[in-house]
Structure 1
Amino acid sequence: MTSPRTAVAKPEDSGFATRRILGNGLLAIALLTVPFWLPLVGGYTDLASRVLIYALAAMGLNLLLGFTGGLSFGHAAYFGLGAYGVGLMLKYETHSTILALLAGTLLGGIAATLLGPIAVRRRGIYFSMITIAIGQMFYFIAVRWNSLTGGEDGLTGFSRQPIHLPGFTLPMGSVDFYYLILICFGICAVLLWTVLNAPLGHTFVAIRENHRRLTFLGVRTQRYIAISFAISGFVAALAGGLDALLDNFASPNLLNYGLSGDFLIIAVLGGMRNFWGPLVGAVIFVMVRDYVSSITNNWMTVIGLVFIGSVLFFPMGILGFFNRKSSS
């Protein structure tokens, strides 16, 4: 259940590998059966859809933050671009949910690919400030371009459409759409896992651990950080497109740095150096927000207290704590 850290597994790690396979299997079963058991515990399918969307966005951020060591406060920009890309395509160009989702993912991902090399020219706090500036640039464009984006009122007038497949049609109700999200989540998880187990992923981790040494060895670290930034942006854009389809709405707030902060909280809360950490963080974040917001408007205070408690008592995140306990 943790991220790959070494290229070759040690023989004594066989018990850990078995537990990891078992844990992944149980996770897959739980996610596949969510629409059946979640209502029994007081939940609803759209809540599970939101968890997967936020987990997917945080997993994209985690590739850059947890595995490459780049702290971005502007990843909501690519999430929001994905959402607006989907909404604009469905409203003006096509009635295909899949085609709109592809267009939104490309819009946000290409933006990250083009802007990443600019941001990675600096490291540390300067890198973070550049990502905020880029994100806020897109936010103000969305707010001011009323004729296209709807301005502060957001983009409306579109909805997810049934998916026509050979022999049958998926109506895209809540349960159908949950499984579409789950498919996208699963594909991205497999791709990210493959990247992290490949030499490229080990290079990302090496940059995080000792950026200066790799630079002395002649590794073009900026190029690799830009690659991580681009992959991260594509994943965030896909999550944003799914979010727009879930709500049939795209808001400028999806581009704001506040949402980037939420993704950061999710990644750190679950364990930013663990592969499934963002999923655990998303479950906690969305469930607490949904429950507390039904009681009080000050739900962010509770989220803040949970986050502070996690940082103080679980500095490696919730999943990191349990992984360390199980391996000790």
Structure 2
Amino acid sequence: MSVVLDDAATQRKAPALGGREIAAGAIWLALLFVPLWLPALGGYTDLATRVLIYAMAATGLNLLLGHTGGLSFGHAAYFGLGTYGAGLFLIHVTKSLPLAILAGTLLGGIAAILVGPLLMRRKGIYFSMITIAFGQMFYFAAVRWNGLTGGEDGLTGFSRVPLHLGAITVPLGSARYYYLVLALFALVMLFVWQVLRAPLGHAFVATRENATRLRFLGVAVDRQVWIAFALSGVIVALAGSLDALLIGFTSPATLQWQLSGEFVVMCVLGGMRSFWGPSLGALIFIGAQDYLSSITQNWMSYIGLIFVLSVLFFPNGLLGFVRAQGRTRTRT
């Protein structure tokens, strides 16, 4: 009898791994060995780094878009501020890579925190239009402030510097920088996962589903929108600072609303209401962009076609479609 009880207790303590855990483990394992297998498929490490950076930005936006229900077409502003913050810090302050990343994240994040109260009471199209207005305001500031930002020619004169760890200096080539970005990507994904599982994340979803009922329950809905907007802005700014260090250049194009639209497309392609959806969307978008731009000048037309087909046949995104198919098979 005691043996049976011990076996039952062991089964409760060590539940079997589900499909989601196995899939997540496979994803992280594949990401860990990207520099080894990607060149065999015709890719290159910097492309994988760019996918991670844009996946981070799309995940940050999705915290507001998919989970809180706020459609922003101005988040490129915080991405662009992150790029300028990192570049200007390296040029004018000191050659420190961690501090440059921190400076870019703070610049874009503080901007998002300050903008949030000005739009948190708006809904629907009014919310989206105000985000565009603020984004374009930052864009024109970068264009006009020629002496600091380089104007339309962009900001140059900085590059990815080695990482100093006490007495050890680590040069950051393509592979090493990829792993630095991967580590930060993992931290961001862990943070977002914890937020969504916490009461704050449930409040975000409740705001998306029925803000009126939430107000009747005494919850400050406007504050929830502000918090979601601020957190998403900080994450997007972090991605922007990493992007500037990847290519050693930034320009006002990183602040334009078109880039915000690309972030939205990534979220929609993969699935706005799934955790890994924005990352999958970033992989599809950046991969298609890299391949199609190498074979045709009209690559944007094909990207648009992919987006239209996705919306028509996979309205909940690719992961949403896969999840729905899984539920159907389970019922049958």
Q: Give the equivalent residue in structure 1 for 2:49.
A: 49
CA distance in structure 2 between the aligned counterparts of 1:76 and 1:121, rounded to whole angstroms? 21
What is the aligned partner in structure 2 of residue 283 from structure 1?
283
Provide, for residues 103-128 of structure 1, a one-character-per-residue CA deviation record: whole Å limited to 9, x for no partner: 10011001101111111121100000
Q: CA deviation at 1:166?
A: 3.7
What is the number of residues matched between the two proteins?
315
Once residues 266 and 300 of structure 1 are traced to their aligned partners in structure 2, the CA distance between those partners, rounded to angstroms, is 14
Q: C-alpha separation between the residues in 2 aligned to 1:96 and 1:42? A: 33
Q: Which residue of 2 aligns with 1:113?
A: 113
Question: Is 1:131 aligned to 2:127, yes or no?
Answer: no
CA distance in 1 between counterparts of 2:222 and 2:315 reads 28
For structure 2, list consecutive stretches of 5 or more residues without a partner in the other structure: 1-11
Structure 1 residue ranges (4+ consecutive) displaced by more than 3 angstroms after TM superposition = none
Name the counterpart of 2:142.
Answer: 142
Gaps of 5+ in 1: 1-10
The 5 Å alignment of 1:14-53 reads 18-53=18-53
SS in 2 for 1:169: strand
**Partner letter of residue 315 of structure 1?**
P
Q: Residue 84 of structure 1 aligns with which residue?
A: 84
TM-score (norm 1): 0.94
Name the structure 1 match of 2:175. 175
Whether 1:309 and 2:309 are equivalent positions in the alignment is: yes
Q: Which letter does structure 1 place at the counterpart of 2:73? A: F
Where 2:74 maps in the other structure, the secondary structure is coil
C-alpha distance in structure 2 between counterparts of 1:49 and 1:103, whole Å:
20
| Distance in 2 separating the partners of 1:284 and 1:311 | 14
Aligned twin of 2:5: none
**1:327 Cα deviation after fit:** 2.8
Structure 2 Cα separation of the partners of residues 118 and 171 of structure 1: 43
Partner of residue 60, structure 1: 60
Amino acid at match of 2:316: M
Q: Deviations over 1:171-216 (max 9, x none)?
A: 0110111011101100000000000000000000000000111112
In the TM superposition, residue 167 of structure 1 has moved relative to its aligned partner by 5.3
Q: Name the counterpart of 2:103.
A: 103
CA shift digits 1:30-53 (9 cap, x unpaired): 001000000000000010011001
What's the CA shift for 1:64? 0.1
Q: What's the secondary structure of 2:18's corresponding residue?
A: helix
Could you tell me how far apart the structure 1 residues matched to 2:237 and 2:167 are?
A: 30
Distance in 1 between residues matched to 2:197 and 2:284, nearest whole Å: 27
Residue 107 of structure 2 aligns to a residue in which SS? helix
Alpha-carbon distance between aligned partners in 2 of 1:120 and 1:262, rounded to the nearest angstrom = 23
Correspondence 1:235-314 to 2 at 5 A: 235-314=235-314
Question: Cα offset for 1:217?
Answer: 1.8
Letter in structure 2 aligned against 1:205: V
Deviations 1:248-288 (A, max 9, x none): 00110000000000000000000010010011001100111
* Aligned residue type for 2:244: A
Deviating more after overlay: 208-217 vs 52-61: 208-217
Letter in 1 for 2:132: I
Distance 2:297 2:91 in 1: 33
| 2: CA distance, partners of 1:179 / 1:153 | 31
More displaced 10-residue stretch of structure 1: 207-216 or 261-270 = 207-216
Q: State the secondary structure of the residue aligned to 2:169.
A: strand
How far is 1:97 from its partner? 0.6
Q: CA deviation at 1:168?
A: 3.0
Corresponding letter in the other structure for 2:65:
L
**What code does the residue aligned with 2:189 have?**
A
Counterparts of 1:103 and 1:166, CA distance in 2: 21
Partners of 1:284 and 1:229 in 2: CA distance: 25
Q: Distance in 2 between matches of 1:309 and 1:167?
A: 54
Q: Please say if 1:217 is aligned against 2:217.
A: yes
Q: Which amino acid aligns with 1:126?
A: Y
1:153 is displaced (CA, Å) by 0.4
Fraction of identical pairs, as percent = 63
**Match in the other structure for 2:70:** 70
Letter in 1 for 2:182: L
Considering only CA atoms, is the larger Rg found in Structure 1 or Structure 2? 2
Alignment partners' CA distance in 1, 2:205 and 2:148:
41
How many Å separate the matches in 2 of 1:223 and 1:123?
14
Code of the aligned partner of 2:134:
I
- Separation (CA, whole Å) in 2 of partners of 1:167 and 1:190: 30
